[in-house]
């Protein structure tokens, strides 16, 4: 799914990475506030949805090559975190939906969860 | 690791400071960049990145500070994480997914889910841990390149 499409269906605001919006697509999504779970399960071109806005979210994304993060519940990180994302070419979006709703909207529009052991 | 192998390796070393959450992850980020510059396969880099990042976060969260040393040879990436204590009371329990002694503050940052050591073991081809309550913890992890 294209990032522009994700922005539009989640009515999301782009906090950084506007110049990358046309180039990046995601194939699956993972919604979670536990960064070790992200490190354990993520593979491939995955969208991360989270309510956390600290620098560790960006570092975690960097480690597993996540290019797009959606902050839910209208959360926006501080400048330092946005700068860290910029440095790593990570797109940051912010939506007012809660995590559950944002995931549901994306799922209904055809973006599936990541496949994990024994799961979908 | 054999001495001969260490001689032919690139060595990287980073100090990791207790409770320094603003810089936590910098060492792993630098290590990842070096591995990329060396042209190592992206799947191998990702395994090394996850292992070093979990080790770095563990030192920040649980220890009195420590050091991460990486030896990169043509065959493998060896990551050694050594801290200044206070050690792990029960290693078997610490290796269980979901077991954690982290504080609420750490959990609010998205860590402390009890996945750190299991993740490190999962992504390493060789995994060794040495620790005792009141002593330092040493983790040695190797990821094969070929």
Q: Do A63 and B32 touch (CB under 8 A)?
A: yes
CB distance A39–B22 less than 8 Å?
no
Amino acid B109: pLDDT? 86
The pLDDT confidence band at residue A120, using thresholds 50, 70 and 90, is very low
Q: What is the pLDDT of residues B10-37, one digit of tens each?
A: 999 999 999 999 899 999 999 999 999 9
Contacts of A63 in chain B (CB under 8 A): 25, 28, 32, 46, 49-50, 53
pLDDT of B1 higher than 60 = no
Could you read off the pLDDT of A90-111 as tens digits, one per residue?
Answer: 999 999 999 999 999 999 999 9
Q: Average pLDDT in the B91-95 region?
A: 93
Size of interface A-B (CB pairs under 8 A): 70
What average pLDDT does range A13-34 have in this prediction?
94
Model pLDDT for residues A43-94, shown as the tens digit of each residue = 779 999 999 999 999 999 999 999 999 999 999 999 999 999 999 999 999 9
Are B122 and A40 an interchain contact pair (Cβ–Cβ within 8 Å)? yes
**Is B11:B69 a contact under the CB 8 Å cutoff?**
yes
Mean pLDDT of all residues in A12-29: 94
Residue A110 burial class via C-beta count within 10 angstroms: exposed 0-12, middle 13-18, buried 19 and up? exposed
CB contact at 8 A, B16 and B56: yes
What is the rounded CA–CA span in Å between residue A41 and residue B115?
A: 11
ipTM entry: 0.87
Give the pLDDT band (50/70/90) at residue B3.
Answer: low
Contacts of residue A59 in chain B, CB cutoff 8 Å?
24-25, 28-29, 53
Q: Residue A16 belongs to what domain range?
A: 3-108
Nearest to A56 among B42, B109, B114 (CB): B109
- Across the interface, whether the CB atoms of A55 and B28 are under 8 A apart is answered no
Query: Which of A41, A43, A59 to mutate: most B Cβ within 10 Å?
Result: A59
Residue (of A37, A39, A50) closest to A102 by Cα position: A50
Q: What ranges do the domains of chain B cover?
A: 2-144
Q: Which of B37, B69, B32 is nearest to B48 (CA)?
A: B32
Residue A120 inside a domain? The answer is no
Q: Could you tell me the pTM of the whole model?
A: 0.91
pLDDT score of B4: 61
Q: Residue A44 corresponds to which tokens in the numbers above?
A: 């491939």
Q: For A36, which residue in chain B has the nearest alpha carbon?
A: B115
Q: What is the CATH architecture assignment of B2-144?
A: 2-Layer Sandwich (3.30)
pLDDT of residue B126: 98
Q: What is the pLDDT of residue B146?
A: 79
Contacts of A50 in chain B (CB under 8 A): 110
Beta strand pairing call for A91-94 and A13-16: antiparallel
Q: Is A83 within a domain?
A: yes
Answer yes or no: is A64 within a domain: yes
Helix pair angle (B42-62, B116-123), 10° resolution: 150
Q: B104-132 burial string, b = 16+ CB within 10 Å, else e?
A: eebeebbbbbbbbbbbbbbbbeebebebe
* Residue A76: CATH number of its domain: 3.40.1390.20
Chain A residues with CB within 8 Å of chain B CB: 33-37, 39-40, 50, 52, 54-57, 59-60, 62-65, 80
Average pLDDT over residues A8-37: 94
Indicate whether A52 belongs to any domain: yes
Q: How many domains does chain A have?
A: 1
**Whether pLDDT at B113 is above 90:** no
Residue A71 lies in a domain: yes
- For chain A, helix (H) and strand (E) counts, in that order, are 5, 5
């Amino acid at each position: 799914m294209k990032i522009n499409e994700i922005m539009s269906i989640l009515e999301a605001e782009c906090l950084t990475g506007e110049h990358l919006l046309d180039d990046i697509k995601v194939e699956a999504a993972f919604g979670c506030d536990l960064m070790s779970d992200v490190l354990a399960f993520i593979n491939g071109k995955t969208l991360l949805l989270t309510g956390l806005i600290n620098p560790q979210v960006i570092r975690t994304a960097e480690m597993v090559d996540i290019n797009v993060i959606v902050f839910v519940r209208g959360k926006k990180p501080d400048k330092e975190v946005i700068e860290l994302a910029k440095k790593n070419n990570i797109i940051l979006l912010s939506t007012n939906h809660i995590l559950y709703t944002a995931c549901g909207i994306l799922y209904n529009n055809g973006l599936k969860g990541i496949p994990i052991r024994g799961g979908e | 690791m054999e001495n001969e192998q260490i001689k032919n390796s690139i060595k990287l070393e980073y100090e990791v400071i207790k409770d320094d959450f603003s810089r936590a992850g910098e060492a792993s980020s630098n290590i990842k960049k070096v591995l990329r510059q060396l042209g190592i396969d992206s799947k191998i880099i990702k395994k090394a990145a996850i292992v070093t990042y979990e080790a770095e976060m563990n030192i920040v969260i649980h220890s009195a500070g420590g050091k991460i040393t990486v030896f990169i040879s043509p065959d493998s990436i060896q990551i050694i994480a050594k801290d200044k204590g206070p050690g792990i009371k029960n290693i078997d329990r610490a290796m269980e997914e979901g077991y954690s002694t982290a504080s609420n503050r750490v959990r609010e940052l998205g860590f402390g889910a009890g996945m750190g050591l299991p993740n490190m073991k999962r992504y390493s081809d060789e995994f060794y841990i040495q620790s005792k309550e009141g002593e330092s913890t040493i983790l040695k992890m190797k990821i094969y390149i070929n």
